[in-house]
Amino acid sequence: MKRFLMLALLACCVAPLFAGGAKEDKRVVIYTSTEDFRTEHIQQLLKEKFPDYDITVQVLSTGNHAAKIKAEGTSTEADIIINLETGYLESVKDALADLSSFDTSEFLPELIPADYKYLPWDKSSGVIAVDRRKLESLGVPVPANYDDLIKPAYRGLLSMPNPKSSATGYMFLISLINLRGEDAAFSYFDRFAENVLQFTSSGSGPVNALLQGEAAIGLGMTITATDAINNRKAAFEMIYFKEGAPYNTSGMGIIKGKETRPVVREVFNFIIDKVVKDDKELYCPEAIFKNSVNNIPNYPKDIPYADMTGGTDLAKKERLLAKWKY
């Protein structure tokens, strides 16, 4: 009886350890830099698909996301990362797993790096969002090109993200540099700054400035402007100048060493098969798949893209931002 009681006590002590291990085996940590409304949908899909898994979706700003992976490398708590800009992904490749064993056949091949260290998450363009009614009330015409924006009539009416704190702002900067040359582009922004009500800290800032009636023209994101029109009843127009829309791309990956965990592979496969496709269908339909379809109301189709050569070069970005004065 004494021996039986000792064995029973041992079983009671050991059982929780096995249960804890089983729970740990089902734990997956995901870092993302998606907007709140997109993150909520990601969480909902994961919860519905994996009700018994312990999945944490942690939202980080793009800069903090990249800095955390760069500093922690393969020892980071994250298993999967999504919506990290391509330039940053290139800088943390040593911490990322080879994804060639996953089915990547539906993605546009030009968006997949040769080493398969990440897969596309989205392609997102910038837009000139215009409040025509505000301009008309001031007797100011709708701008037709970038040079119009530096005319005195637009003083105090413009809003743009600061390239030092926003990837959206930087993509406008690099597209103008590619169009006009570095010196001419910086000279242009010296004049442009005279008309700016505010250089915002985030890419959504210009659209918010229009929504609040503070600005009449915002250099912002197509996805944010579309969301304002569809869900906040904003009477904006979206314009793409003949120079083309600047854009950036982001991707998703697995931290090296985590790709061997079955639970991580299962979740990442679901992200490829369902989550990223839902995100494109509902929020950001710009093509990353071979058979992409844009069915989002008011989201522009056939967007003319600008030359974004060098947009993912982080050394170049650091040098250019050191010259930015605003």
pLDDT tens-place string over residues 173-183: 999 999 999 99
Q: Which domains does the chain have, with CATH numbers?
A: 24-123+248-282 (3.40.190.10), 124-247+301-323 (3.40.190.10)
124 three-class SS: strand
Q: At what angle do helices 314-323 and 167-180 cross, to 10 degrees?
A: 90
Do strands 196-200 and 54-59 pair parallel, antiparallel, or not at all (unpaired)?
A: unpaired
Question: Which one-letter amino acid corresponds to residue 55?
Answer: I
Q: Is the pTM of this model over 0.75?
A: yes
Alpha-carbon gap, residue 60 to 47, rounded angstroms: 20
Residues of 51-82 as b/e, b for ≥16 C-beta within 10 angstroms? Answer: eebebebebbebeebbebbeeeeeebebbbbb
Q: What pLDDT does 272 receive?
A: 98
Closest CA to 172 of 154, 158, 183, 185: 185
User: Cβ(197)–Cβ(209) under 8 Å?
Assistant: yes
User: Cβ(120)–Cβ(112) under 8 Å?
Assistant: yes
Residues 6 or more apart in contact with residue 42 via CB below 8 angstroms: 30, 32, 34, 57, 82, 275, 279
- Cα 227–chain centre separation: 15
User: Cβ(234)–Cβ(129) under 8 Å?
Assistant: no
Residues of the chain with pLDDT under 50: 7, 14-23
Q: What pLDDT does 17 receive?
A: 46
Instruction: Give how far Cα 67 sits from Cα of 57, 62, 200, Å.
Output: 17, 9, 22
Expressed in percent and rounded to 5, the helix, strand and coil fractions of the chain are: 50, 20, 35
Structure tokens that stand for 275 in this block: 């989550």
Closest CA to 93 of 220, 251, 225, 244: 251
Structure tokens that stand for 25 in this block: 């085996």
Alpha-carbon gap, residue 2 to 280, rounded angstroms: 64
Q: Integer distance in angstroms from the first to the last C-alpha of the chain?
A: 81
CB-facing half-sphere around the CA of 15: CA atoms within 13 A: 6
User: Cβ(50)–Cβ(155) under 8 Å?
Assistant: no
Neighbours of 309 (CB within 10 A): 11
